[in-house]
A and B are shown apart, each in its own frame.
Chain A
């Protein structure tokens, strides 16, 4: 079902109280992510990317508009989505396997099934031999892989990823990107990826959405017609990658002098 819409934002606006007035973080954002699609969201800092993620996961309600996951309106945390942040958020008192089981445990999955899922995921992500380790015994890249396993363990239909690899070193990041790409492809998962890394956006996604400065609006949408979404290391060598990055830089005004107004022409 390639055309089923998994995640959709409809006219979402988010305002936060600030002093006497309010601050508009996100304004009238609408877009949809189809089944199995990986969409990246890029934009300047503070343009409301993470706000959109919180709305999608049901942690915050939008001021206006609605978010839908699997056709259902998001009215709170729900079983269809799972998120992963820049911080691994591993619990130091739990072993790797217990951390992977954290989400399924909360959702009340039976102990045998929890262990089976954790075991399978740890094997897929080459972490099986560390299942009894504690987080402080692992490297940053391994910890982030455990976080990915924990996110996948609840078998969400949509993954919301907020700069998942921005805290690891460049080489580890490339390895993790490839693992994520392969895992998403293998499991046929739908994902919304927030990133600052233009190369990451281009090599990992089917589509890239560009957001403006605050108040954040979608100002461009670029389909990435480059083969090999499951192998970012190979995909990055494709000549069209640089072309696309140039276009993104242009849209984001990177290289230009800091614009005088907060409004970016749409």
Chain B
């Protein structure tokens, strides 16, 4: 595809995207009233905006958002580091993989969010159980992607390095590690959105801080607008996390053809 038609495609797509947003917001604002849906079922856009402003001043919305964002960040970073670490270890040691794979599979099948009540029993109404759920849920996609990447490096590439008398460490740092980066980043993208899920479930289960807490508080008060605000803020936190991963990815994987990165 030529550069000109590529940019015109992007322009048309952007216009359609913005138009869709306008239609959606208008439908949200006036649709419920026209259809006779009560505001405690679907509060219109303006009501949600007012509630957001009220929560900002009265309910410390910024603090709750900040706490959630910090938990997401901590859970994501630790979960990815652990996932990548185990992915490399298992990828390079078939024995370790055979020994550990049944347990890893069992842990992967178990719904990670179900651990939230357990972690709260162990660690109380602190930020730690939330971070732990996020770590657990981020761990697997990152680990599996790294493991698969290390396993699927072209054996001829390894032989080439061996023929040049490369040491095991050189093979890792010069071939296996860089070759694993594209799948690692694919895992990190998934992990960044899953981290938000983990943290929210933790907050829903116990504690009095974070957007998850606001969700259950709003539910208890039958304050539908508050629930909407919390959902929007969670989406924002997740979106920023995802965007940050993409930004780092584009710097690290700059050598890939542009299209392979595929925007979002």
Contacts and interface: CB of A to CB of B under 8 A. Distances in A.
Contacts of B256: 92, 136
A58 B163 contact: yes
A77 B178 contact: no
B159 A59 contact: yes
B175 A77 contact: no
Contacts of B159: 54, 59
A78 B178 contact: no
Contact of A103 (B164, B181, B257): B164
B174 A102 contact: yes
Contacts of B166: 106
Nearest to A87: B156
Interface string A30-72: 0000000000000000000000001001110000000000000
Given A91-B178, A92-B255, A136-B257, A107 B156 contact: no
Contacts of B157: 89, 91
B10 interface: no
A91 B156 CA distance: 12
B163 A93 contact: no
B262 to A, nearest CB: 15
Interface in B161-210: 161-166, 170, 174-175, 178, 181
Contacts of B257: 136
A93 B156 contact: no
B160 interface: yes
Given A87-B156, A89-B156, A134 B165 contact: no
Interface size class of A (residues with CB under 8 A): 20 to 34
Contacts of B255: 92-94, 134, 136
Contacts of B174: 91, 102, 105-106
B154 interface: yes
Interface string B122-162: 00000000000000000000000000000000101101111
Interface residues of B, number: 19
Given A91-B175, A106-B174, A81 B163 contact: yes
Contact of B164 (A54, A77, A85, A136): A77
A93 B164 contact: no
Contacts of B162: 59, 77
A25 interface: no
Given A89-B157, A93-B255, A59 B163 contact: yes
Given A91-B175, A93-B178, A102 B164 contact: yes
A94 B170 CA distance: 15
A154 B164 contact: yes
A82 interface: yes
A9 interface: no
A54 B161 CA distance: 13
Interface in A218-238: none
Contact of B170 (A54, A79, A106): A106
A89 B160 contact: yes
A73 B248 CA distance: 49
Interface of B: 154, 156-157, 159-166, 170, 174-175, 178, 181, 255-257
21 contacts: A77-B165, A79-B165, A81-B163, A82-B163, A82-B164, A89-B154, A89-B156, A91-B157, A92-B256, A93-B255, A94-B255, A102-B164, A102-B174, A105-B174, A106-B164, A106-B165, A106-B166, A107-B164, A136-B256, A136-B257, A154-B164
